[in-house]
Structure 1
Amino acid sequence: MTQTQARGPLAGKGAVVTGGSRGIGRAVVERLAADGATVVFSYARAEDRAREVAEAVAGRGGTAHPVRADFADPAAARRLMERADQLLEGLDVLVNNATGPLAPTPLTEITEDDLDRALNITVRAAFLTIRHAADHMRDGGRIISVSTLNTRRQAPGLALYTAAKGALEQLTTVAALELGVRGITANTVSPGATDTELLRGSNPPEVLERIPALTPLRRVGQPADVAAVVALLTSPDAGWITGQNIPATGGLS
């Protein structure tokens, strides 16, 4: 057990973040650790990146444990949570951030294997981590799922991505209804255009150049912007917020 941070609003708390080696997930890991939590985070394949995140957190006095878990494997989520039980003194925060590829694909070109992979990574893994949290999370805990503005702002080619994220939103809403009696809150955060590899890899340069003009704040969101909203929902002051879908879009709607 290494849950030893002594300062911050999450001091003494244990957190699990899925998909924590890059982008929004990395920013969430770093923010929760900075707020005092001991964090267990999953990565699919890039061990060097995961190690870099853990070292960056340690350099700032925090603790983050990388655990390999490729959610395309249906058993990976269960193994992740079992490992988290070993590494944490208790589970207080669960952030479901892992997601499948975002590359736009027409409905007619989506294969059954594509569907299975997307649902395994985004929905099945979250179902299993939330179910584990229902049994093991301490009273007053926090569940946050990272969805997307695109479940409300649809675009051609995003059927698979948004279908999976929509299911994630519904899982989280039901968790709020079922776990509220124990003071556990469950909310969704829906980022808009956020400067990540996922965004840059799925949009041509001319689209990326237009994004700042679409937001009242006239810029592209940063992973830390989304992590700040997640951190707000984990704080003691957010105990009366549950069952909600919080846009983290810079006003993009």
Structure 2
Amino acid sequence: MKNTEKTPEKKTDVALVTGASRGIGRAIAARLAREGHAVLVNYASNEPQAAEVVREITQAGGRALAVRADVSKPDEVKHLFDVAERTWGPVTVLVNNAGVGQHQETIAQTSDALYERIMSINVRGTFNTLREASQRMPAGSRIVNVSTSVVGTLNPGYAVYAASKAAVETMSRVFANELRGRDIRVNVVAPGPAATELFFEGKSQELIDAIIKRAPMERLGTVEDMVRVVAFLVGEESGWVHGQVLRVNGGMV
């Protein structure tokens, strides 16, 4: 007798990666696309770079769409989730990578404008995406927020940046508890210094060498070092990992 039952269609895994037009965010988007996710490539201003990310993913056989949004604005974050749902379905993977750094300015030197910008993107931006995710992500979803190892190393000149990411870590762990019973995992990746364009910007070779020496492994991290950890936290092998902060920094303290 012929089996007429239809095999259930596998639901699309939809990943939203904020700040995905360059650096670590771009690499995360590409990795998730290779693993079969449909990827929403969020960017704040650089449309050509975001378009290039989408082009690379689609040429490799993946699915991707670039969407501009300022994550510090709630309505624009809602728009990101709306676009994802209209295009592929609900977001099931959220990677909060969008962020603003700080270049060695003491508290005394930090302007009101820089303080507001860092807190607006890093803290309010994460808050906005988590709040939207709490209302729209289904069971089985995964959230990875990006922090920094400067929260632990307490480098002079990075007070506001470190404070903003400490807020992200605390908010993430509380959020993980608030999602009790919903089967949505929340974790944090806290990279150490990685060899990205943003890291090298404005630094002397002497400073770069000193930073490298601080880690017992005596090298800068690579983008792939970070991406592998994000992929692990998004994947099934980390199914019992929840509410954790993973410092990916070569042992730097």
TM-score with structure 1 setting the length: 0.90
Matching residue of 1:122: 122
Q: Secondary structure at the match of 1:221?
A: coil
What are the superposed Cα offsets for residues 66-108 of structure 1, whole Å, 9 maximum, x if unpaired? 1112345564323323322223312111111111132222212
Q: Relative to structure 2, which stretch is displaced further, 90-99 or 106-115?
A: 106-115
Q: Is the 8 A contact 2:33 2:57 kept in 1?
A: yes
* d(CA) in 1 for partners of 2:83, 2:22: 21
Matching residue of 2:6: none
Shift of 1:139: 0.2
What amino acid maps onto 1:54 in structure 2? Answer: V
* d(CA) in 1 for partners of 2:135, 2:73: 22
* d(CA) in 2 for partners of 1:215, 1:11: 42
* d(CA) in 2 for partners of 1:250, 1:57: 30
What runs of 5+ residues in structure 1 fail to find an aligned partner? 1-9
Shift of 1:112: 2.4
Matching residue of 1:89: 89
Residues 9-158 of structure 1 mapped to structure 2, 5 A cutoff: 12-71=12-71, 73=73, 75-158=75-158
Mark the CA change 1:114 to 1:221 in structure 2 (over 3 Å): closer, same or farther: same
Q: Is the 8 A contact 2:81 2:91 kept in 1?
A: no
Q: Is the 8 A contact 2:73 2:128 kept in 1?
A: no
What are the superposed Cα offsets for residues 34-61 of structure 1, whole Å, 9 maximum, x if unpaired? 1110111211111111111111111221
Matching residue of 1:180: 180
What amino acid maps onto 1:25 in structure 2? Answer: G
* d(CA) in 1 for partners of 2:143, 2:231: 11
Q: Is the 8 A contact 2:13 2:36 kept in 1?
A: yes
Shift of 1:129: 0.8
What amino acid maps onto 1:102 in structure 2? Answer: Q
Q: Secondary structure at the match of 1:91?
A: coil
Q: Is the 8 A contact 2:71 2:128 kept in 1?
A: no
What amino acid maps onto 2:45 in structure 1? Answer: R
- Rg larger for: 2
Q: Secondary structure at the match of 1:241?
A: coil
Q: Is the 8 A contact 1:104 1:202 kept in 2?
A: no
What amino acid maps onto 2:177 in structure 1? Answer: L
* d(CA) in 2 for partners of 1:105, 1:171: 25
* d(CA) in 2 for partners of 1:11, 1:29: 19
Q: Is the 8 A contact 2:71 2:126 kept in 1?
A: no
* d(CA) in 1 for partners of 2:39, 2:126: 17
* d(CA) in 2 for partners of 1:202, 1:215: 21
Identical counterparts, % of pairs: 37
Matching residue of 1:214: 214
Q: Relative to structure 2, which stretch is displaced further, 239-248 or 79-88?
A: 79-88
Q: Secondary structure at the match of 2:139?
A: strand
* d(CA) in 1 for partners of 2:211, 2:60: 33
* d(CA) in 2 for partners of 1:216, 1:152: 15
What runs of 5+ residues in structure 2 fail to find an aligned partner? 1-9
Mark the CA change 1:212 to 1:119 in structure 2 (over 3 Å): closer, same or farther: closer
What are the superposed Cα offsets for residues 8-43 of structure 1, whole Å, 9 maximum, x if unpaired? xx9831111110011111111111111110111211
Q: Secondary structure at the match of 1:181?
A: coil
TM-score with structure 2 setting the length: 0.90
Q: Is the 8 A contact 2:77 2:132 kept in 1?
A: no
Shift of 1:150: 0.1
